[in-house]
Structure 1
Amino acid sequence: MIMAAAAPLTTVSATVPVAILSGNGPAYPIMYVVAAVVLAFFAVGFTAMTPHVKSAGAFYSYITEGVGRRWGLAAAFLALLTYSAVQVAVHAFMGVVLHDFVLSFGGPSIPWWLFSALSVLVVGVLGYRNIEVSGKVLGVVLVAEVLICLVFAVAVTVRGGGPEGLSTAMFQPHQILSGSPALALMFAVSGFLGFEAAAVYRDEARNPDKTIPRATYGALAVIGGFYALVAWAIISAWGDNGAVERAQTDSATMLLDAGKRFIGTFGYEVMQYLLIGSVFACILSFHNVIARYIFRLANTGAMPAKAGLSHPTHRSPHIASVSQSVSAAALLAICVVFGLDPITQVFTWLVGIATIGVMLLMLGTCVAILMFFRHNKVDNRRWNTVIAPGLGCVGLGVTTAITAKNLPLLMGSATLGWIVVVLLVLTIGAGFLVAALRPRANTPD
């Protein structure tokens, strides 16, 4: 579920070109390694605390245990904003992918938002059902998209890259620090969105105390290494200068066109189909995570009790799932009404908001881990309970601050940058307001 939320083919197709253009150019792949190292320190404390957190709310449950229910509710509302933003972003990207797919086969030019509306409907139906159905869909798509990306990366390497040869920019300090490395790191961290998915499914795991740490470390290593490799292959396919130029002129087809040159027409067509499946799997994964957040919050009194009911047949959080589908459709409708571009505005802006949100969530979780082990002497391993989480706090704190400072550059104006900051503050404030109005809400189990 973590890997499906990361959506390998979606990330390398949608995020990598935007990050090359907005971040540090051809040196971008190294930022996945940097992000993985920072998150590894976080993961040490996260997994150490896992056996002591019995709730399925992931980040916000950890913050509740470590800092208190008010901060926990604030984190829960921030998580809802974060994952709702990224889900709508990927719905928009799905609209563009399906629009281009239909055109490539000589079909009519149908507005992207109609395809996005279709994805909301289909994902809503699957989300209404149980996790078994969703898990099977995600698993099949995941294996196929990872394989096609690896085939592409091997083909680029064997053929020595494109017109400029294999890229070495990611190993050159002056290239790494060029452009806007802060935004590059932000986009790299966005590749790890859904990082908490293992803990969200705690109630559905057979042995969560063992499987959650394994899934967390495994996903961290695979995501970091895989994305760095494939991003490097994309840049090598176009060349250091050519990659930046292509990202600027046509980012949406950057990977597909490179795939056509290096793995042939058949590979290109397979990649097209798998890209649709990858985007779909990503949306479905985030839909399930958000539905379970709503379900958990409803069962702790922070949201209407009906949202905490399970379907009598499917055993799914069906009401929470439907409410999530309705909110996603409403947000997409707002984007359409304002005439926002699905890639340069809807996708880029919402992924930026989501990344800032998840950085704040992980930073808050790091603080909660330190406070929890300080007040509860249940683990004497200083590396796991003090040193690693402390390093994670420093890394995430610096990364969040630098990214927030560069928000105006990402959003295209200082005004929009401040709007994002205000939105984040209001969301956190809403959590505190609910905590004040409902004293029993989010009471630790």
Structure 2
Amino acid sequence: MFFVVAAAGPLFAIAGGVPTNYAVTGNVGVPLSFLLLAPILGLFAVGYAAMSRYITNAGAFYPYVANGVGKSTGAGIAFVTLISYNAIQISIYGLFGWSVSTWLGTLTGSPPPWWLCALVMVLLVGALGVLRVDLNAKVLGVALCLEVAVVAIVDIALFSNPAGGGVSWVPLEPSSLFTTGVGAVFAFSAAAFIGFEGAATYGEETREPSRTVGRATFAAIALTAVLYVVSSLALAVGTGPDVIVTTAAAQGPDLLFNLAGEHLGGTFSDVAYTLFVTGQCAALLSFHNAVARYFFALGREGLLPRSLAKTSKRTGAPVAGSLTQTALALTVVSLFAIAGRDPVTELFTWLGTTASTGVVVIMIAVSLSVIGFFKRRRDAENAWRRWVAPSLAILALSTVLALILLNFDLLLGPAGTFLLRWGLPGLVLVAALAGFLRAEVLRTRDPETYAAIGGPLEDEELAAAKLS
């Protein structure tokens, strides 16, 4: 759970993502979007957790789809996952570069370029990935507890000192959310949850994946949902729902720390900002290692060049996958820097919401795969897990996806063009087609490799025995 929630990055999601959500979408109903998304993700997790008892694979999503819908479809989802996780990981470099540049600017009076800070971090994370430096669960646990404590203290301070003298519940009213830009709000909010589903990528490294994956997933959803709903509401209450959009646009990720300094003092604000930056570091490393594992898994199964399955002889780290992810991050950050793009409203926003679009598509596919997988195993799980919860998840997630696509232009702001409007979400479709076609080629040219897509299933009697 610590690995998963660290990837979701509660403090940087709240301080960085929530103000950007308010500012870019102009929508006051951000807290309600989190409140609605949480049970939808919970429905998804029901089938996801049930399937994790039978499939344990570092590739997580795509083996589920490969075994539930079809191997070629699973390969398509594998490529979508790769695009989405790379996008969310690289997007954080934009926020990190801005955060460190701003911090150094306050210390020296002369902030360095955001892209310089970001590129240094790309190289550092890449080196740690090659060396197989994973943050220890105890370290992550301490860091997570500190982040949650900071968020809780700030929330209490803001609810205790509401703008206008009284707590307003306007951000939780449906009329606040379901207006112009509702799909854009869901895109941002879904991006904040990315990482909750990552427990399955560690399934091969746990003693009891049949129990651990499901428990960690539900715990991650519950914890992050409470934090996001309460904290996004607290920011609106502390600032004033009528001015939260304009204030967030003016102050950006500084909003939370400015409010903390006002009510709790400069020292507390400085400590919170330090945790904000370290939380981004933890998320960058967590997502980097997850992407490296995906490259490794796809290389191992022949969907990508088998050279990507190369591991370090000394550490066992997926060195080829780690280096590939680092090269992609260096390229994208450099392109944004050369083009003079904004690190928060463009790099962080554009790639983060592209990633959330991909993840919603993936969750729909996984829910379909749950139904298909258990259709042939009716006695393995009860009806709620086999098809009821997954079916409800498909309906809800499809609605969210439609809203995101209809409002995607709002996420791009004034810099958006027709090419970006359709090109960024189109990356998801292109990735799916590329993976599907790659598998179809393997079907005819290399049937043995094709047959191995998705990995082996766990013996169903053994899975049932573990569960009991």
Question: TM-score, structure 2 length as denominator?
Answer: 0.91
2:154 is paired with a residue whose SS is helix
Note the alpha carbon deviations across 1:368-404, whole angstroms, 9 max, x for none.
1111111233424111111100000000011101111
- Tell me what 1:281 maps to: 282
* Alpha-carbon spacing, 1:270–1:407, altered in 2? closer, same or farther (3 Å): same
Q: Distance in 1 between matches of 2:264 and 2:341?
A: 34
Q: Distance in 1 between matches of 2:14 and 2:67?
A: 36
User: Which 10-residue stretch deviates more, 164-173 or 396-405?
Assistant: 164-173
User: Which 10-residue stretch deviates more, 284-293 or 14-23?
Assistant: 14-23
User: Which 10-residue stretch deviates more, 236-245 or 385-394?
Assistant: 236-245
- Tell me what 1:345 maps to: 346
- Tell me what 2:358 maps to: 357
Letter in 2 for 1:379: A
| C-alpha displacement of 1:234 | 1.2
| C-alpha displacement of 1:406 | 1.1
Note the alpha carbon deviations across 1:302-323, whole angstroms, 9 max, x for none.
1222321332232221221121
User: Which 10-residue stretch deviates more, 192-201 or 159-168?
Assistant: 159-168
Note the alpha carbon deviations across 1:175-227, whole angstroms, 9 max, x for none.
23233222212211111101221000011111111111110111111111111
1:68 to 50, 67, 70: 70
Aligned CA RMSD, in angstroms, stands at 1.7
- Tell me what 1:216 maps to: 217
Letter in 2 for 1:13: A
- Tell me what 2:156 maps to: 154
Q: Distance in 1 between matches of 2:361 and 2:46?
A: 18
Q: Distance in 1 between matches of 2:97 and 2:73?
A: 36
The number of residues matched between the two structures is 444
Letter in 2 for 1:437: V
* Alpha-carbon spacing, 1:171–1:421, altered in 2? closer, same or farther (3 Å): closer
| C-alpha displacement of 1:140 | 3.4
Q: 5 Å matches for 1:171-190?
A: 171-190=172-191
| C-alpha displacement of 1:260 | 0.7
- Tell me what 1:402 maps to: 403
* Alpha-carbon spacing, 1:206–1:403, altered in 2? closer, same or farther (3 Å): same
Letter in 2 for 1:205: T
Contact 1:296 / 1:308 at 8 angstroms: preserved in 2? yes
1:301 is paired with a residue whose SS is coil
- Tell me what 2:232 maps to: 231
| C-alpha displacement of 1:413 | 4.1
| C-alpha displacement of 1:362 | 0.3
2:163 is paired with a residue whose SS is coil
Contact 1:141 / 1:281 at 8 angstroms: preserved in 2? no
| C-alpha displacement of 1:12 | 0.8
Letter in 2 for 1:21: A
Q: Distance in 1 between matches of 2:8 and 2:56?
A: 25
1:434 to 433, 438, 449: 438
Q: Distance in 2 between matches of 1:53 and 1:176?
A: 38
- Tell me what 1:423 maps to: 427
Letter in 1 for 2:157: A
Q: Distance in 2 between matches of 1:34 and 1:413?
A: 30
Letter in 1 for 2:293: R
- Tell me what 2:129 maps to: 127
Q: 5 Å matches for 1:28-427?
A: 28-130=30-132, 132-133=134-135, 135=137, 137-157=139-159, 159-163=160-164, 165-411=166-412, 412-427=416-431
* Alpha-carbon spacing, 1:33–1:393, altered in 2? closer, same or farther (3 Å): same
| C-alpha displacement of 1:405 | 1.2
| C-alpha displacement of 1:252 | 2.6
Contact 1:234 / 1:255 at 8 angstroms: preserved in 2? yes
2:207 is paired with a residue whose SS is coil
Question: TM-score, structure 1 length as denominator?
Answer: 0.95
1:334 is paired with a residue whose SS is helix
Contact 1:96 / 1:342 at 8 angstroms: preserved in 2? yes
* Alpha-carbon spacing, 1:11–1:133, altered in 2? closer, same or farther (3 Å): closer
Contact 1:126 / 1:134 at 8 angstroms: preserved in 2? no
Q: 1:17 aligned to 2:19?
A: yes
> Which runs of 5 or more residues in structure 2 are unaligned?
444-448, 457-468
Contact 1:169 / 1:176 at 8 angstroms: preserved in 2? no
Letter in 2 for 1:192: F
> Which runs of 5 or more residues in structure 1 are unaligned?
none
| C-alpha displacement of 1:171 | 3.2
